[in-house]
Amino acid sequence: MATSSMSCGRLVSWISAAVLLQILGLWLFVSGFFPVKPTVPGFSGPESYRMPTCEDVLVDERRDLLPDQLAKMYMDLSQIPPAFDRMILMVIDGLPAEFVLGKGGQPPEKSLMDAMPYTQFLLSERRAIAFHAKAAPPTVTMPRLKAMISGAIGGFLDVAFNFNTQAFLDDNLLDQFYQIGWKLVMFGDDTWIKLFPSLFRRYDGVNSFYVKDTVEVDFNVSRHLEVELVANDWKLMILHYLGLDHAGHIAGRHSLLMNSKLKEMDDTIRLIHTHNALNGDDDGGRTLLVVVSDHGMTERGNHGGSSFEETDSLALFADLWSESLVYASNMHNEVFQVDVAPTLALLFGVPIPKNNVGVLLIEAFNSFTDEHKLRALELNSWQLLRLLQVHLPHLLCRDLREGASGGQVVQSNEYFDNIEEKLHHLYSKAMAAHTLWKLSERDSSGRSENSTNSYNAVASYYDFLRYGSEWLSHRATDKPIKLILSGVVLLLLSSVLLFYLLLLQFKDHGTERKFGSALKNCSCVWHLDETFVSVGTFLHIFSLGASSMVEEEQYTWHFLSSTMCLILFYMTMLSFLKEQQTVSVEMKKDGKLDLHQSQITHTSVAKYTARVILMKPLHTYFRIYSLLIVLICGRILRGWHQGGVNWAHLPDISKWLEQTSSSCMKAFEITSLLLVMMLSLFALSLLKSRTRYVLIASFGIVVLGFLVLLHIIENQPVNRSTSIAQIFYFNFGILVFGTFILSPWILPLNFQEHSDSHSSAVKTDGVLMGIQDSLYVVGVIYASSWCILQLLLQQPVNAIPMLLIFVQTMACIIYFSASGHHRQLVEVAAVYFLGMAGHFYLGNSNTLATIDVAGAFIGISSYSIIFPSVLMFIITFSSPILSYLSMLVCISTKDIVSLSLHERPDLSQLLNLMIAFPCLLPLVLNSAVLTTFTLILLVMRNHLFVWSVFSPKYLYVCAGTVSVYIGLYVVTVTVVYTCTVFFFRAKLLKFGNS
């Protein structure tokens, strides 16, 4: 047996190797799947009209300027007279550009042309110009609006890390307009109000939640038009129509609803375009109508992914002032959605937002002179250069001016291996062409030559801009497939390795059990419990493929953990039935057992077994009651928070409690605190040896409880409360760390009673008993102080759930310690299941919205990022970590004494016996979820809900993996330390005796 079992050191190193592989794979996948691009903080100011240099010094010169002065300064600096004074930004949610422009040079279908007669008239009369504006995934509204007004492509993690505020804080057009004193009004989708809570002078937000409604949402926008079009106080009016997107969601892309909706949109465009108040320049000035859509839609009307149908959005510019044809007739241009931002910024004379990766649409500048066009391109290039400089710090430190002023341009057909060189080359070329044009303009020698020069300058500017823009946006959205795949492979590899290690352990322990559990009396059931662990895990993993099962994961976990308990209950009842039926048979078996043990000749072990047999009926009742407690607590907890997404509004206990008075809530909190304290004190008092030490530990718990009590009674955001919390953290640290360090040294080795016998078996026995006691104390202290910490941090409404989870975990451990016939596998799995169910019992869900941000600032007096994040992690993963910590108690209640009957285990074997399963199994279960969900995310990357459901869930899975690592690390270190110290003490004692 000893030969077959893997030594502890080797096992630990294999496990660590697998964990390291997993971490590496996870890191590779995450960095591939969720690219983080560095955004530049702050807002563009006057500096954007200066050429960027190697060391760009940022001086905010706008601070003391009034809006009017700022606008004047921008106009002077830009050297371009603003073409327009007012703008109407009409957003038609979900309109594919194909409906207006057709596809591949072909005009759209006849029915679609007929549905939008006025728009088609504007386009054919060249009074408007329209583009296929390719949107970047995720094609859902909020990120797309952000892209249009900031010109930046955000990654998912940007959204995730700003979960406590939805307001848009990066540089954007709307804020730029606001700073130069524009008045903004907004009607339509309330996403705008979420993005800019305080920017709009007048607004009427409609909610996009009621997807079934296609009429009211748009009526609520259009009803404002009559009044607002006449009003002349606003400079920018945003109209966001949701009806077309809703029509798509209901009936798909080619439904009849769609045509009537298109007609309605066309009528709105006609109304605006022909409105008298906007056509004259009497008071309102020149107005630009911009019609954009945020994304397209698939054949079935969905969106979110990256297919052509979804990313094909529209950008249409119509000059309301001019009667004649203003625009060139190139209608089928394919541009990018982000190009809207620099175009509008330059048309209206504000600085281009800092993070913009778009390129201005020169066709919209048709009424500009060549000089102004080139100047606009130059400004756009400077802005892009500044952004490129963030990625490539040495880009501008090359001598740009030399290349430009000398007019000596390197030949373009050269091979560039370096992106910096390529960008540098393109930019110098553009500058040179611009300078050439300026020279020829000054000479005014030949008209034709001049226009050729201007054409060349525009073209070379575009070469640079497009190249830089594409490079930047690829950095933001490209998913490097090699990175992702290597990550997935590593994850798979580590899962397989962990599973293989578990199987090896299974084999070893399997042979062991045949000896160790002669007491087992229920071999008849073909391991229903073990089968369920694998089936349940498989079902859970399988269910993660469905978005609504991810949203409502709390049902899955409750169902699985309760079923697990019901199965255990069923097995207990069976053994109960059998016990009374076959008492005589049992007695015979016991006799045999005693005989077997007498060969080993060990009195205390015989006593131990005798005690076990005598206590059997009592144990059965224990088991039944503890399982009933687990089940009933679980049901109450399920009713505490409704959770999830679809049924979150239904009444539950927490909603009911929140309506009661705060004193009532405090009473609940204090009650649960006292009960947790009493339970942990009781658990500590069960230990018989060295009462003084246990008394000190109990005193530590009481102190912690008292501090939390003070905090609850205080419950005011004053300094004193903060200091109480800080004292609590300090005491918590001392208690936990102190117990961990001191317990193995102080608790007795249990040698005294057998001092007459000097056989080595007795010594081992004493050591084992000591280890058990010590682990028990440490485990109880860990678990109970963790619970008390949670009572401090969690919302008041979660006080009782925390108590119930603690009770559940303890009851579960009592059950397993009272019943000898389950494998350790089942025990660890049951505790793990309870921990995962508890995660959702505390009101957590798979959306980022349920993270308790307020609790993360308890006891924090100065600003920091790390400490609140740690607290937030502690609050969110309190229940899983509690379950890992209570594995220590599980380990200590296992009868390792009876396991060691047959031979004297050395340290390594003992460690292997104790921590192999508790460490491996959670790792295996978690890595199964992690790996599968990684694959699911990869498969679902074009799914509608990938950003709203699957990606947040992935963040939870990653954080859950971290919690597994932390919890198991603590368990392993504690067990290894305790065992080592005890063996060391035993050796010392041996030397002392001899």
User: Minimum CB separation from another protein for residue 521, in Å?
Assistant: 11
Compute the least distance from the CB of residue 32 to another protein, in Å: 30
| 104-112, 331-339, 520-528, 591-599 -> range binding another protein (CB under 8 A) | 520-528
Among 90, 387, 631, 911, indicate the residue that binds another protein (CB under 8 A).
631
CB of 580 vs another protein, minimal distance in Å: 7
- Token pair in block for residue 775: 């682990």
**Beta-sheet strand order (sheet of 334-336):** 202-206, 184-189, 236-241, 86-92, 287-292, 312-319, 128-134, 334-336
Q: Does the footprint of another protein cover residue 549 (CB under 8 A)?
A: yes
Pattern of binders to another protein over 717-736, x per CB under 8 A? --------------------
The Cα 876–Cα 856 span in angstroms is 10
Closer residue to another protein, CB minimum distance, 463 or 652: 652
Separation CA 142–CA 152 (nearest Å): 13
Nearer Cβ to another protein, position 285 or 545? 545
Nearer to another protein, 440 or 575 (CB): 575
Using the minimum distance from each CB to another protein, give the nearer residue, 383 or 844: 844
8 Å CB contact between 529 and 574: no
Q: Quick check: 375 binds another protein (CB under 8 A)?
A: no
Name the residue nearer to another protein (CB basis): 528 or 966.
528
Site string for another protein, 286-315 (x = CB under 8 A): ------------------------------
Tell how far CA 558 is from the center of its chain: 22
Query: What is the rounded distance in angstroms from the CA atom of residue 465 to the CA atom of residue 382?
Result: 10
Indicate the residue among 166 and 646 with the shorter CB distance to another protein. Answer: 646
Per-residue burial over 363-400, b if 16 or more Cβ lie within 10 Å, else e, is bbbbebebebbbbbbbbbbbbbbbbbbeebeebbebeb
> Applying CB under 8 A, does 526 fall inside the site for another protein?
yes
Minimum distance from CB of 524 to another protein (Å)? 5
Q: Which CB sits closer to another protein, 395 or 627?
A: 627
Binding segment (CB under 8 A) for another protein, from list 23-31, 119-127, 630-638, 799-807: 630-638
Using the minimum distance from each CB to another protein, give the nearer residue, 8 or 633.
Answer: 633
The strand pair at 287-292 and 312-319 is best described as: antiparallel
The string of DSSP codes covering 565-598 is HHHHHHHHHHHHHHHHH-HHHHHHHHHHHHHHHH
Nearer CB in complex with another protein: 526/991: 526
Question: Distance between CA 748 and CA 528 in Å, rounded?
Answer: 40
Between residues 6 and 632, which has the closer beta carbon with respect to another protein?
A: 632
Chain positions 580 to 609 lying near another protein, rule: CB under 8 A, are 580-581
* Out of 211, 409, 539, 710, the residue judged to bind another protein by CB under 8 A: 539
Q: How far is the CB of 946 from another protein (least distance, A)?
A: 16
In whole angstroms, what is the distance from residue 774 CA to residue 751 CA? 15
Q: If binding means CB under 8 A, how many residues of this protein chain bind another protein?
A: 34
Interacting residues with another protein between 641 and 700 (CB under 8 A): 644, 646
Residue 482 CB contacts under 8 Å (≥ 6 apart), including other chains: none
Phi and psi at 81, nearest 5°, equal -70, 130
Q: How far is the CB of 519 from another protein (least distance, A)?
A: 18
Examine residue 796 and tell whether it contacts another protein (CB under 8 A). no
Tell the smallest beta-carbon distance from residue 647 to another protein (Å).
Answer: 8
Among 222, 259, 260, 543, binds another protein (CB under 8 A): 543
825-830 long-range contacts (CB < 8 A, ≥24 apart) are 825/506, 825/530, 825/533, 825/917, 825/921, 826/529, 826/530, 826/533, 826/568, 827/890, 828/887, 828/890, 828/917, 828/918, 828/921, 828/922, 829/533, 829/564, 829/921, 829/925, 830/561, 830/564, 830/565, 830/568
The answer to whether residue 474 forms part of the interface with another protein (CB under 8 A) is no
Rounded to a whole number of angstroms, the minimum distance from the CB of residue 874 to another protein is: 28
User: Is residue 911 helix, strand or coil?
Assistant: helix
Residue 548 or 685: which CB sits closer to another protein? 548
* Cα–Cα distance measured from residue 891 to residue 702, given in angstroms and rounded to the nearest whole number: 25
Nearer to another protein, 205 or 545 (CB): 545
For another protein, the binding residue among 578, 655, 690, 902 (CB under 8 A) is 578
Query: Which burial class, exposed, middle or buried, applies to 914 when counting CB atoms under 10 A from its CB (0-12, 13-18, 19+)?
Result: buried
Residue 539 CB, shortest distance to another protein, in Å, is 8
Q: Which is nearer to another protein, 639 or 796 (CB)?
A: 639
Closest distance between another protein and the C-beta of residue 526, in Å? 7
CA of 191: how far to CAs of 145, 204, 205, 209, 738, in Å?
9, 11, 8, 11, 52
Q: How far is the CB of 566 from another protein (least distance, A)?
A: 6
CB 581 to another protein: min, Å? 5
CB 632 → another protein: shortest distance, Å? 7
Shortest CB 644 distance to another protein, Å:
7
Mapped onto helix, strand or coil, the DSSP state of residue 380 is helix
783 and 885 Cβ atoms separated by less than 8 Å:
yes
- Smallest gap from Cβ 540 to another protein, in A, equals 11
Angle at 778 between CA 774 and CA 779, to 5 degrees: 115
- Taking the complex as a whole, the smallest distance from the CB of residue 555 to another protein amounts, in Å, to 4
The neighbouring-strand residues paired with 129 are 317
Strand-pair partners of 92: 241
Under the binding rule (CB under 8 A), the answer on residue 534 touching another protein is no
Peptide bond into 351 cis (omega under 30): no
Residues 6+ apart with CB under 8 A from 464: 381, 384, 423, 426, 427, 429, 430
Query: How is 826-881 classified by DSSP, letter by letter?
Result: HHHHHHHHHHHHHHHHTT--SSGGGS--GGGGTT--S--SHHHHHHHHHHHTHHHH
Cβ distance to another protein smaller for residue 217 or 631? 631
Q: Which of residues 551-570 bind another protein (CB under 8 A)?
A: 551-552, 555-556, 558-559, 562-563, 565-566, 570
In sign, the C-alpha dihedral spanning 132, 137, 140, 143 is negative
| Closest approach of another protein to the CB of residue 646, in Å | 5
Q: What are the C-alpha distances in Å from 615 to residues 603, 608, 620, 684, 742?
A: 18, 11, 9, 21, 33
Buried b (16+ CB within 10 A) or exposed e, 782-791: bbbbbbbbbb
Instruction: Indicate the residue among 561 and 743 with the shorter CB distance to another protein.
Output: 561
Cβ atoms 488, 875 nearer than 8 A: no
The residue among 373, 400, 356, 347 whose CA lies nearest residue 52 is 400
The CB-of-305 to another protein minimum distance in angstroms stands at 19
**Based on CB atoms, which residue is closest to another protein, 54 or 546?**
546
Q: Among 227, 481, 524, 686, which residue sits at the site for another protein (rule: CB under 8 A)?
A: 524
632 to 651, contacts with another protein by CB under 8 A?
Answer: 632, 634-635, 638-639, 644, 646
Cβ nearer to another protein, comparing 525 with 675:
525
CB nearer another protein, residue 563 or residue 726: 563
Binding residue for another protein, selected from 574, 657, 670, 938, defined by CB under 8 A: 574
Q: Under the rule (CB under 8 A), what is the footprint of another protein?
A: 524-526, 528, 539, 543, 546-549, 551-552, 555-556, 558-559, 562-563, 565-566, 570, 574, 577-578, 580-581, 631-632, 634-635, 638-639, 644, 646
